Structure 1
Amino acid sequence: MSCDFLALAKSGVQHLMPYQPGKPIDELERELGITDIVKLASNENPLGLSPKVKALLSDNLDELTRYPDGAAFELRAKVAATHGVAAEQLVFGNGSNDVLDLIGMCFLNPDVSAIYSDHAFVVYPLMVKAQGARAIEVPAKDWGHDLDAMLAAIEPDTRVIFIANPNNPTGTWLGHAEIERFLIQVPDDVIVVLDEAYSEYIHGVDYANGIALLKQFDSLIVTRTFSKAYGLAGLRVGCSISSVAMAGIINRVRAPFNVNTLAQLAATCVLDDSEYLQQSIAVNDAGRQQLEAGLSALGYDFIPSQGNFISFDTRTDANAVYQALLEKGVIVRPVGPYKMPGFLRVSIGLEAENQRFLDALTALAD
């Protein structure tokens, strides 16, 4: 006897495909039997763990027999002090992706719609459709968010708007005046989620810091992560910052102990390691310039980015270029699911890793 279990799933889930992460190094080793692999696919921090975090984690392994602090008291206090907000404004999650899911659980259902941009983070449509909400995808402008078009797309049943700033995978960004003007025009009963996973890397350009806008807009939720500039992708810790009332609602659906003990310790510690953060930013700045110069010299067009990655136009079949790079031991990221079939996204690594990618790309043209 058999059963069509897919038919039992919610209608929104029936039409989804699983999220495809960047290819792990050990998977490529198994597939091609090669070593000395460079992974520039998942926007990870190339520096490795902060030395302070590494020492702290090794000293606290015995704590793993006990449940984590469900309220994340120490981490909550540290994040609140770092960003100048009240501790009650914070919701913590297993990465900021978890917090996005919590927001969807709270505010999306089959009777409402949600808005996001073309070429924006693929998790938005996954989460919206999983909740059964109607997805409104707005065409992009210059590979980024067209805020005027997003305003025009708001309908009476619209409940949430998602904006990534900087955007992944295009790296585009929005300035303070743009976001503020947008928020002023959004109806009070529409929640705007400003996803700032890459905000630490931005400097020297006009940029809308969502946390600074929270005092003006009660319906704004800002999400941040420790997976990028802070180097804790494997520990999975992120948070949202919003009004106290909004945070209280989101916390109603948060699973107990959703941020593990080591993640809490590491995130609390790394916020005090300003030297590590500044080094991460400096390495990213230098690597971005290196990749931009290298891609330009090879004649590739790329999208100017304020993240820790660059998307470039392969001028051909991107999947073929991706596979050829894999055979040379370089893992980058196809972005076909983002409706960018000719592009690949390369994460910014250490100088030698970036050069390895550029050399491999050069060899493909020979």
Structure 2
Amino acid sequence: MTLYVWGYLAEYEKERDDILQAVDTVFRSGQLVLGPSVKGFEAEFAAYHGVPHCVGVDNGTNAIVLGLRALGVGRGDEVITVSNTAAPTVLAIDQTGATPVFVDVHPGTYLMDVAQVEAAITERTRCLLPVHLYGQCVDMAPLQAIADKHGLPILEDCAQAHGARHHGRIAGSMGRAAAFSFYPTKVLGAYGDGGATITSDAEVDANLRRLRYYGMESVYYVVSTPGYNSRLDEVQAEILRRKLTRLDDYIAARRQVAERYAEAFAGTDLITPVTAPGNEHVYYVYVVRHPKRDKILESLKGHGVSLNISYPWPVHTQSGFAHLGYGKGSLPVTEEAADEIFSLPMYSSLTGEDQERTIDALRSVLSTI
């Protein structure tokens, strides 16, 4: 049986009264769209990140789409990012009419290899989109230096890095804007879809608010810029407000799980996560690596353990992105990692018993592989 679905159920049982109270609060308020819960969450989420502006939207993909558009990215432009990410990162670029341009990842962390970015910049480049993957941050200081040199904005993809820090700075506070997803599995997850884009730039904030509401500004039914219907739901916002107060506790629990895994697999040939210098990892997923990955996963099924792979197919190898022209071997580090990585159960409500079950099964398989 897969362990991943248990995280939501265990968390819900623990927080059920608060979650149901949140729903009731919204339904009794009489304001179901862009009401006090969205406004409250936006203010509190912005404050958590030390920035003045947060715009709640309907999902993490649109948080990136609106972020890119608010920064002026559009048809004919290029956005530099990575292929080792969830497809929505790249789909969001495509939805603006821009072209994704990939650089490879660092072999130890699987994060954007910043040393490759400058060579990928062309006269059409309009934005750099680093993905803070698996729970830790891209090396932002050299990336910002490149961005400043070429006059380019940075949009951080923070969907997997709620609360992560890089040399003391929290993910989402280092670029011109940052996009978040609140999909239920995230470190800060809603009970459905949700997203947000944060910024310290008042102009970008104004653009975001206009874009999420059809492109309307001060006068209803008057569109100044074609936009979207992309509003964060009041119910999800109220749930997120309450869960935000527990975010640091969720992170602490995840770090305890990660510490136990690291201890359990020390001395084996399983490669456990590497935290980059200056990073404070939040372990959205706990990604390990082994050259016999597929054989290990198949053997684990005999122990009743089914594990996930994040991600088995790099974006540039998928048929839906064949038009980008990246052939096999174009991003060798990304491709090699995709053949060997897999994820161990990781969520804040994971019990010690369930974790030990995974550890015992995997250690048993590793001893015979």
Q: Same fold (TM over 0.5)?
A: yes
Residue aligning to 2:222: none
| Per-residue Cα deviation, 1:188-221 (whole angstroms, up to 9, x for no partner) | xx33111223444536x6354355546xxxxx11
Picking from 152, 159, 162, the partner of 2:129 is 162
Residue aligning to 1:100: 64
RMSD: 3.4
Distance across 2 between alignment mates of 1:281 and 1:210: 14
Distance across 2 between alignment mates of 1:109 and 1:211: 22
Distance across 2 between alignment mates of 1:301 and 1:101: 35
| Shift in alpha-carbon separation, 1:212–1:332, aligned structure 2, 3 A | closer
Tell whether the 8 Å contact from 1:221 to 1:241 is kept in structure 2 after alignment: yes
| Per-residue Cα deviation, 1:230-284 (whole angstroms, up to 9, x for no partner) | 642433332111212112223333244622221111122233x3xx333312211
Distance across 2 between alignment mates of 1:313 and 1:230: 22
Picking from 251, 260, 263, the partner of 1:293 is 263
| Shift in alpha-carbon separation, 1:356–1:65, aligned structure 2, 3 A | farther
Q: Secondary structure at the match of 1:248?
A: helix
| Per-residue Cα deviation, 1:29-73 (whole angstroms, up to 9, x for no partner) | xxxxxxx641179x9797446467325235337459863226832
| Shift in alpha-carbon separation, 1:257–1:201, aligned structure 2, 3 A | closer
Amino acid at match of 1:79: F
By how many angstroms is 1:304 displaced? 1.5
Amino acid at match of 1:251: R
Tell whether the 8 Å contact from 1:121 to 1:164 is kept in structure 2 after alignment: no
Distance across 1 between alignment mates of 2:9 and 2:130: 23
Q: Secondary structure at the match of 1:232?
A: coil
Picking from 246, 250, 266, the partner of 2:204 is 246
By how many angstroms is 1:163 displaced? 0.6
Distance across 1 between alignment mates of 2:180 and 2:2: 30
Tell whether the 8 Å contact from 1:70 to 1:258 is kept in structure 2 after alignment: no
Distance across 2 between alignment mates of 1:111 and 1:267: 36
| Shift in alpha-carbon separation, 1:38–1:344, aligned structure 2, 3 A | same
| Shift in alpha-carbon separation, 1:323–1:104, aligned structure 2, 3 A | farther
Distance across 2 between alignment mates of 1:129 and 1:45: 35
Distance across 2 between alignment mates of 1:74 and 1:120: 31
Residue aligning to 2:180: 224
Residue aligning to 1:308: 284
Structure 1 residues not aligned, in runs of 5+: 1-35, 215-219
1:141-160 matches, within 5 Å, as 141-142=106-107, 143-160=110-127
| Shift in alpha-carbon separation, 1:114–1:83, aligned structure 2, 3 A | closer
Structure 2 residues not aligned, in runs of 5+: 213-227, 276-280, 315-334
Amino acid at match of 2:194: V
Distance across 1 between alignment mates of 2:8 and 2:230: 25
- Percent identity reads 13
Distance across 2 between alignment mates of 1:201 and 1:246: 22
Tell whether the 8 Å contact from 1:332 to 1:346 is kept in structure 2 after alignment: yes
Tell whether the 8 Å contact from 1:64 to 1:261 is kept in structure 2 after alignment: no
Distance across 2 between alignment mates of 1:131 and 1:201: 28
Distance across 2 between alignment mates of 1:231 and 1:149: 31
Give the number of equivalent residue pairs: 313
Distance across 2 between alignment mates of 1:229 and 1:129: 24
Residue aligning to 1:364: 365
Amino acid at match of 1:224: F
Picking from 247, 259, 263, the partner of 2:232 is 259
Amino acid at match of 1:149: Q
| Per-residue Cα deviation, 1:139-180 (whole angstroms, up to 9, x for no partner) | 223322222321231111112221122x24xx5534564454
Distance across 2 between alignment mates of 1:120 and 1:248: 29
1:181 equivalent to 2:145? Answer yes
